[in-house]
Structure 1
Amino acid sequence: MKSTKITYYATTAIISAMMLFISFETLTKPEVKASMEHLGFPDYFRIEIGIAKLIGAVLIWLPVRLLKESAYIGFAIMFASASIAHFAVGDPADKVIAGLVFLAILIVSYVTNTKSKKTK
């Protein structure tokens, strides 16, 4: 039980911190704008996705099930889509795998959260 909660908090903190950091970069760095153009996305999508990452990083911690699960779903779609987009344009394998690694961390966070709720 205790290890489940520790795993939940650790994986959720990783996802949340990463999303906060990346949302800032997505909204402010010209390199991200160029990367999004390389992937074929319009600039307004970069702004939308940056704001969504910021909101999701907060929602994933809330005790309201609908909001928390919406954040998990949004992040899962985002990580899978990022891997697919990088694969589709022929980017190096590390860019494709990065989204899948964070998807795996997200899944561990979700599963451990669900387990800790069932044992109460």
Structure 2
Amino acid sequence: MTKQIDFVKNPDKKSKRTYWIITSFTMALIILPSYFAPREYLIQAVKKLQFPDYFTLELDILKIVGAIVILVPRIPTMFKEWAYVGFGILLLSASLAHGIVDGFVKGVAPLVPFVFLAVSYYYFRKLNYEN
């Protein structure tokens, strides 16, 4: 038989579940657009922002590495902290770059995953440092 978890009596289980749901969603929100957006659109966006051509490959590799660091439980928390910082810098820089070059609306778009990243980080800290 399956044992039901009572989240009201055990808030730690609720926090863990919330952390994993938010974190998985956030990583998907950050990584998947690079693979599902039309390639021509991504190339034009990089050229419009005046980044070098290799920048998209560099971002793709670092996003995958960062997501692995955050999602694999056995990786030490210090590395996870740095991955969160890296994603934060990535999203805030993207917001600034798109806001300056493409206008306010496109500059706000990277802030959506940033908000989810902040919530994920809140639960990360709650689960790892408030014991």
Q: Could you say which TM-score interval applies, normalised by the shorter chain?
A: 0.7 to 0.9
Residue 108 (structure 2) pairs with residue 97 (structure 1): yes
Residue 94 (structure 2) pairs with residue 82 (structure 1): yes
Letter in 1 for 2:23: T
What is the aligned length? 118
Distance in 1, Cα, partners of 2:33 & 2:128: 29
Q: TM-score normalised to the size of structure 1?
A: 0.85
Which structure has more relative contact order (CA 8 Å, sep 6+)? It is 1
Q: TM-score normalised to the size of structure 2?
A: 0.79
Tell me, yes or no, if the aligned pair for 2:100 and 2:107 is still in contact at 8 Å. Answer: no
Runs of 4 or more consecutive aligned structure 1 residues displaced over 6 Å after TM superposition: none
Alpha-carbon shift at residue 6 of structure 1 (Å): 2.4
Residue 19 (structure 2) pairs with residue 8 (structure 1): yes
Cα deviations across residues 27-47 of structure 1 (Å, max 9, x unaligned)?
A: x82220111111121111111
Letter in 1 for 2:124: N
Tell me, yes or no, if the aligned pair for 2:30 and 2:113 is still in contact at 8 Å. Answer: no
Q: Percent identity?
A: 35
* One of 40, 51, 60 as aligned partner of 1:50: 60
Distance in 1, Cα, partners of 2:30 & 2:76: 20
Alpha-carbon shift at residue 119 of structure 1 (Å): 4.5
State which drifts further: 28-37 or 9-18. 28-37
Tell me, yes or no, if the aligned pair for 1:23 and 1:53 is still in contact at 8 Å. Answer: no
Distance in 2, Cα, partners of 1:19 & 1:40: 21
Aligned to 1:72: 84
| Greater helix fraction, Structure 1 or Structure 2 | 1
Cα deviations across residues 39-59 of structure 1 (Å, max 9, x unaligned)?
A: 121111111111111111111
Q: Which runs of 5+ in 1 are unaligned?
A: none
Q: Which runs of 5+ in 2 are unaligned?
A: 1-10
